[in-house]
Each structure stands twice: as C-alpha cells, then as structure tokens.
Structure 1
Amino acid sequence: MQPTTAGMSPASTKATWPLVAVPGQPGAHLSAVPVTEDGTPEVAPVSDRVTGSTDQAPVTDSGQPTGPTGPEESAPATKGADLLTELRSAIARYVIMPSREALDAATLWVAATHLQPAWQHAPRLAVVGPAKRCGKSRLLDVLHDTVHDPFITVNSTPAAIFRSITEQPPTLLVDEADTLFGSPKVAEKNEEMRGLLNAGHQRNRPTTRVSGPEHKPTKFLTFAMAALAGIGDLPDTIMDRAVVIRMRRRAPGERVQSFRSRWDTPPLHALRDRIATWLTPLLDTAARMEPPMPVDDRAADTWEPLVIVADLAGGDWPRLARTACTAMTAHEAGQDEEGGLKTRILTDIRAVFAAYGDPDALPTEHLLSALRADTEAPWAEHGPNGLSPRGLQILLKDYGISSANLRFPDGTQRKGFVRNRFADAWTRYCPEANEPDHIGR
C-alpha cells in the first residue's frame, strides 16, 4: 500500500486486495478481485428453515458425522465469495497463519461478526501460541479493522463491558488474555470476566446487577462475539466455546507486510464496509438457516455461524468451511491445559542431541535420562518421579513432535525421537545465537 492513501477516508477508499498464494489452495494469483459498489450476492428464495442441502451427512454406526458435509460440488460463486477471498488475502498479507484451515476460519469468523443478531451462539476466536511474538497481536490489529464494531477490552471491567453490549452487539477483542487467566491466583480475581465470556457465548444468558438510585435488579445482555489472544491455552470453558487458532513464530523465508494504521486501516475499513453491505440484507435469511454440519454438540454451535456465512457466499467456501471445521475441531479434541516450559524443553533437547554428537535419532530413555541429569533444569522434579515419557509427549504435542518405534544402529528397536522432527520448532522458537531471529510481531 502507498502512503498516499493515508489521507483518504474509509468511505472514499476503494481498494481490492491482490490474492495471496495460500499453501494447498488452488487458483491463487496476483490479479485484483473484481467487486461492485454494493457487493450484494444473488440469493435464491428460502423457506422458513433453510438447510443449505437436503443431503444427509455421512455417519458412522453410532450416528456421528464422518467428515466434511455439504454440497459435493462447488456452488456458483457470488459476490460474497469474492469478498471472502479478498478478506482472506488481506489477512494473509499481514499475518502468517499456522495453516490454510486456520486462515479460512479466521476469514469466516470476521465475516460472521457482521451478522451477530442472527446467531444463536457467538463463537469465540482463541488466538494462542506457545511463546511470545507469534503474530497474535498483529492478527488482532487486522481483526480490529475488519470486524463489526470492535470493542477493545484492555483494562476494561466486566461491568463496563456488559453495559456496552446491546441488541446490536460489538465484537470484543481481548489481547494478552494470559494476564487475565495465566495463573490460578490471577484467574480467581478475574472469575467475573470468565463468567461474562462464557455466558456471552449463548443468547439469552443475561447478567443481573443492582443499579440506579432505587437499587433495582437490572438485567444486562452478555451475548457478543469475542476474540482473545494470549500465550498458552485459555481456561477450558473458553477454549471449548472457541475456534482455536494456534499461532507460531515466522520461520526464515516467511515474510509479511508491515502494518501501518495510517495507510493500511482505510482500505481495511473499506473492505469491512463492503462485507457489511453484502451481509446486512441477509440477516433474516441467515437466522433461518440450519446447515448440515460435520460436527455436533458445542462444536457445531460454535462453528455454525461460520458455515452459514460460507453457504451464503457459495463458490468453494461451503467446502472450505467444513474442511476447516473438521480439521481444527479434531486437532483440539483431547487438548489439555498445560503449563509453560515448552520453549525450555526444545532448547534442552537440542543440547542433548548435541552432546550425543547430533545423531539422527535418540532412544526416549536416553533423552529423558540426560534431561533429568541436568541439575539446573526442572526435569528431575517435573512430576512425581521426574519427567516421564508421557510428560515429554505432552510438552511437545503443540509442536507436532512425537516419539516413534525406531531401529537403532545396535540392532535394537525402541521408542525414540528423530532429530529432524525438531528442526522446524528449533528454528522458530529457540534459534541459535548465530541464526537470524525471524519472528512475527
């Protein structure tokens, strides 16, 4: 973007975002996305309950969905599909997302904020990472300029927040959420905030406070979509109501455009306004839609607004939304709340491999023995009997690293870790002193 756009108002800025190549995404190129003045899609008439498809989702013997559901072929692309593609490119311009599915999910979540009165559930967007400087705050910058009516909750009290929520709710944005919930002592002090965020996930869950000179009980609305960014997992009750995006640091060679609000905000606001112009007339349609979902229970409640927006857009978006839903909810299944030490374990494992002469693999028992033998490290006291194989797996799971059955040069076959599985995490989170520190802002 050129600095000359700085003086333009959001209403006068008419920018389109070049498509950004997304790994695994066909058709990305560097031409501009054509848009019209109003961006309104052509939507076929619907009945009182719009299901999006009459086909039944494939299920197992127990009745559980087996995978993405929805139209088998891409629906005709609409102006809305072009707007979502343009929004996805705008996000990818400033932030390296952890996966194609995460980028699609963030795009659909932003669009869904413009139809909040239509939703039964207000999905949270949990933007978390194992360490600092993974791009979490930068993603919130882009969200702030593209969501409906952003409300930054830095240092805001729960009372101030629920008094700001109306029938046309704002979009709550909470940065450094780990400072609210990062330790039991701090979390206890912010229990009211967690209660507000939990209650606001579902419609008709007001909070009651005594207010006014007559001290009458008064009900306040809590329903509003919210994005929360922080280091480490948020409380389970929030993560269970969220689309979870697990950010990571940029690796060497990964580049993003710097974000300068003076000239980047106006075109993002213009894009936001065109998305709102497209979606606002579709509010009643969206409220009647009940799309087939590849998941059920609370996961379906959380993802339904994103899938509805995708179905309204057409094109490839119905398929992309359900693929992201299936992949990301499956990844979160069984995730536990974990403590820190994740960067420390990477650094110490690299030192152990170096001490053994950097072999291609090490048996798990050798790796654990060396870790526990370091008197200055916490591993000898990690758990009742020191760091265990299970404890090691838990610390490494966010990095996608696990042990495997390996055959070693002495002819034995044992559980162990392959060195090159750590290479990407070492580069991102604990680069050597002589390596350039390519990190996200």
Structure 2
Amino acid sequence: MSNPLAADADGEMPAADGSATDGTIDTAPDTSESPGAALLAELRDHIRRYAVLPSAEALDAVTLWVAATHLQAAWHHAPRLAIVAPARRCGKSRLLDILVETVHDPLITVNTSAAAIYRSISDRPRTLLVDEVDTIFGNPRTAEMNEGLRGLLNAGHQRNRPVTRSVGNDHQAREFDTFAMAALAGIGDLPDTIMDRSVVIRMRRRADGEVVAPLRDRRDGVLLRETRAKLALWASLVREKAEALHPDMPVEDRAADTWEPLVAVADLAGGSWPGRARLACAHMVAAEEEIEEDSCGGARILADIRRIFFTHGDTDTLPTTAILAALNDDPEAPWAEHGRGGLTARALAGLLKDYRISSANIRLPDGTQRKGYTFNKFADSWRRYCPKVHPLPQRAQAG
C-alpha cells in the first residue's frame, strides 16, 4: 500500500487523493490545495474545534507555531508562545492540551528545575510546555527562586546560547544547549523579557454561543496525533528549503526574529497562508505594542508626557508641577495611585532616568524660573519608544 504523503519527484507531497498540488486556497481546504496548506488547514480546524481563540489571527498564529515546532532544527530563533489570560477558565489549559498532542516531541514541565530541563533538551530539540506559569513568576519571591528557568527561557530563544555547568565527581565544565521552542500558559503577563520573545495569545472566557467540542484522549487524541505525524513527515520533506528561506517580514528587530519561523512555515505551505501569516504578525505585534505603551512601566510615562505637551500647544517647556498635576489628574492613568499620594517629582525623575531625561531650571512667560522639562529633551525618546502616539511636529524633527 503506497504512502499518501510520499514526496513526488520535486520533493513536494502529493494530495491524499493523488491529484495535482499546484493550486492555491482561499480560507477552506479543497482538493486544489498544496499539501502543506491543506495540512495547516487541517490543524487549524482541530484547534478551532476544541478551543476558542481570541481572533482569527491568533488562531492562525497558534497553527503556524505548532507547525514550526516540527522544523526547530531549521530555525535560528525559537519563538515562545505566551498563552495568558486575566482569570481562570479562559481555555489556557485546554489549548495546552491540544499542543501536547500536536507539537514536536513535547516536554511537559511541572515544577521542573532549570537544570533538569536543559539536560532534557541538550541532545535533541524538544518543545517545552509549561502550565500555570504564574505560580513560577507570579510574585517576586517565586520569581527569584526560578531565576534559572527565566534565564533558560531567555537564552533559549536564540541558537548557540548554551549554559555551562560543572558535572561529575571531577566537576568538569560542560555546555548544555538551551535552544527549544516553548509554550507557557498562565494568569497575567509573563516577565517582560519572556513576553518580548513571545507570540502572545490573550485568551478570554467563552461567551454565550461560543461552543467547543469535548477533548477526549481515547477518541480525539488519536486524530490529533495523526495530524502530528503528518506534520512531522511534511517537515522532513521541506527542511532543506526551510533552512535556506529568508522571508520578508512586516515587522522588525526582535519581533521579526520571533515571528520569522511562523512566516517561513506559511511560505513553505503556500496557498493563502503567506498573506494570513503576515497579517497575523502585523496585527498581533501592533496590539502588544499598544498594551506596552499603556502599561505603567516602559514607555507609558513618555507617551503620557507627550500628550501633555501637545495639550499645552506650542510651549517648549513645562514646569514639573504642571506635568505632575496633569499625570495625577488623569482618572484612567495609573499615576494617581503611584506610591501613597500620587506621582511625585522625585518618582517622575526616577522613571525618566533610564531615558536620560532630567529636569532643569526653566524660564516661565512671567520671567520667573522653576524646575521643569523641555520638549526637545524628550524628542529622541519619543521617536524611539512611542512613535505611533502622534507625529512629532516639525520643530522637534529639526532639533
């Protein structure tokens, strides 16, 4: 009996019914699909059957991430999949159950030490799956106790970032590989360094009318594992192409490193997947950038001060007291709850210190001098950390 997934003379997989494979797809599988596109559509349907994802882009992203785990040997970066939610019963564990049955060589970690993990992944690429990660990083004490695991997850995002440990009775130094794709599920955001290396899936509770099928291992697990076997075979046929592929990316820097394996899988599969992958990448990265700008840390303080300058019109200087009053009076901002009595001049200086922005003596229209900040001191940081809030006026660009 012939293998329906055997490669043809060009290294491509023929359709299961033996038909030609040079067609493309729109959104649903049909007999004209390329084998890779049809296989991704099959996987996407499985995920959609058992879990409700927050958007079509998130569903595509999870599908591509699962497929990418089967080509880990071809990638230079190992994207993390951060499955986060604001509360329990949002489907995080269900999605992780699906991943267990579909990703390449899963390694489920439950209260596992970092040392045990890098010894498990050092000899072959595996896929780490961590549930309830909020119990690991959820508070400063446990986060400090698990600093080794955070370091492993950060280093393992890029190939050739080993850890060195003493082993044996003679304490010989040995390098352990850290490179592995990983999915981490938990309540609340993960540490910033991990989120920055992740494709982020923000789960939510199902609404009325959103129905999923029950996931039973004896029945459904068999189907999922059959799809995993197909993915493994397809990956073996396209691995050389994957290693040589350098896809055009809609994002830059670390976001491009993280999403490149997913976009590459889409390009290898063909059909509608290349366009869908880039759409998901652009939309989801932009959404995370907005969340970062709105958070109390990071660039939020820069974005809020930028809005204050724009509110005050053409002035090039603002007293510290005016900036603090505007920040603390904003009912939707976190600054009024900063410390015990709202944001202070000292706290503001501390938040701006990392951006090398400091106050100075400024002259007011009435001729008096007070401590304050100048527009041009912020201009460079605004361009770098929050460029999408407003276009900078010509005066700042010239400076």
Does TM, scored on the shorter chain, surpass 0.5? yes
Amino acid at match of 2:261: P
Partner of 1:37: 4
Amino acid at match of 1:128: V
1:325 aligns with 2:284: no
Partner of 2:101: 145
Equivalent-residue separation in structure 1 for 2:100 and 2:296 (angstroms): 29
**From 112, 115, 119, the counterpart of 2:75:** 119
1:215 aligns with 2:202: no
Partner of 1:97: 53
CA contact (8 A) 2:70 2:235 kept: yes
CA contact (8 A) 1:136 1:230 kept: yes
1:57-72 matches, within 5 Å, as: none
Partner of 1:178: 134
Q: What secondary structure is seen at the aligned counterpart in 2 of 1:218?
A: strand
Partner of 1:203: 159
Quote the offset at 1:285 in angstroms. Answer: 1.2
Equivalent-residue separation in structure 1 for 2:80 and 2:9 (angstroms): 29
Quote the offset at 1:335 in angstroms. Answer: 2.9
CA contact (8 A) 1:40 1:80 kept: no
Equivalent-residue separation in structure 2 for 1:289 and 1:230 (angstroms): 33
1:73-84 matches, within 5 Å, as: 77-84=33-40
Partner of 2:247: 291
Q: Is the alpha carbon distance of 1:227 and 1:42 closer, same or farther for their aligned partners in structure 2, counting shifts above 3 Å?
A: farther
Q: What secondary structure is seen at the aligned counterpart in 1 of 2:291?
A: coil
CA contact (8 A) 1:39 1:275 kept: no
CA contact (8 A) 2:11 2:238 kept: no
Quote the offset at 1:386 in angstroms. Answer: 7.0
Partner of 1:312: 268
Gaps of at least 5 residues in structure 1 are: 1-35, 46-72, 340-366, 372-378, 388-441
CA contact (8 A) 1:233 1:338 kept: no
Amino acid at match of 1:184: P
CA contact (8 A) 2:92 2:186 kept: yes
Partner of 2:258: 302
CA contact (8 A) 1:77 1:313 kept: no
Quote the offset at 1:141 in angstroms. Answer: 0.2
Q: Is the alpha carbon distance of 1:210 and 1:325 closer, same or farther for their aligned partners in structure 2, counting shifts above 3 Å?
A: same
CA contact (8 A) 1:41 1:80 kept: no
Equivalent-residue separation in structure 2 for 1:285 and 1:333 (angstroms): 32
1:107 aligns with 2:74: no
Q: What secondary structure is seen at the aligned counterpart in 2 of 1:333?
A: helix
Q: What secondary structure is seen at the aligned counterpart in 2 of 1:137?
A: helix
Quote the offset at 1:296 in angstroms. Answer: 0.8
Equivalent-residue separation in structure 1 for 2:9 and 2:272 (angstroms): 16
Partner of 1:262: 218
Quote the offset at 1:381 in angstroms. Answer: 6.0
Q: Is the alpha carbon distance of 1:380 and 1:221 closer, same or farther for their aligned partners in structure 2, counting shifts above 3 Å?
A: closer
Q: Which has the higher contact order (CA 8 A, sep 6+)?
A: 1
1:226 aligns with 2:160: no
Partner of 1:404: none
CA contact (8 A) 2:52 2:206 kept: yes
Quote the offset at 1:167 in angstroms. Answer: 4.9
Q: What secondary structure is seen at the aligned counterpart in 2 of 1:164?
A: helix
CA contact (8 A) 1:80 1:314 kept: yes
* Larger relative helix fraction: 2
Equivalent-residue separation in structure 2 for 1:156 and 1:181 (angstroms): 14
Quote the offset at 1:266 in angstroms. Answer: 0.8
Partner of 1:131: 87
Q: What secondary structure is seen at the aligned counterpart in 1 of 2:117?
A: helix
* 1:186-242 deviation line (CA, Å, top 9, x unaligned): 111110000000000000000000001211010000000000000010000000000
Equivalent-residue separation in structure 1 for 2:46 and 2:144 (angstroms): 38
Equivalent-residue separation in structure 1 for 2:336 and 2:252 (angstroms): 42
**From 219, 222, 230, the counterpart of 1:274:** 230
Partner of 2:378: none
* 1:132-181 deviation line (CA, Å, top 9, x unaligned): 11000000000000000000011111111000113531100000001110
Equivalent-residue separation in structure 2 for 1:383 and 1:263 (angstroms): 54
1:346-385 matches, within 5 Å, as: 384-385=340-341
* 1:252-301 deviation line (CA, Å, top 9, x unaligned): 11100011112111110001001111111211210110011001110000
CA contact (8 A) 2:84 2:188 kept: yes
Percent identity reads 61
Amino acid at match of 2:124: Q
Question: How many residues are treated as equivalent by the alignment?
Answer: 292
Equivalent-residue separation in structure 1 for 2:193 and 2:8 (angstroms): 37
Q: Is the alpha carbon distance of 1:105 and 1:147 closer, same or farther for their aligned partners in structure 2, counting shifts above 3 Å?
A: same
TM-score between the two structures when normalised by the length of structure 2: 0.68
Q: What secondary structure is seen at the aligned counterpart in 1 of 2:102?
A: coil
Equivalent-residue separation in structure 2 for 1:151 and 1:41 (angstroms): 33
Q: Is the alpha carbon distance of 1:187 and 1:42 closer, same or farther for their aligned partners in structure 2, counting shifts above 3 Å?
A: farther
TM-score between the two structures when normalised by the length of structure 1: 0.62
More displaced stretch, 327-336 vs 114-123: 327-336
Equivalent-residue separation in structure 2 for 1:101 and 1:235 (angstroms): 24
Partner of 1:235: 191
CA contact (8 A) 1:122 1:200 kept: yes
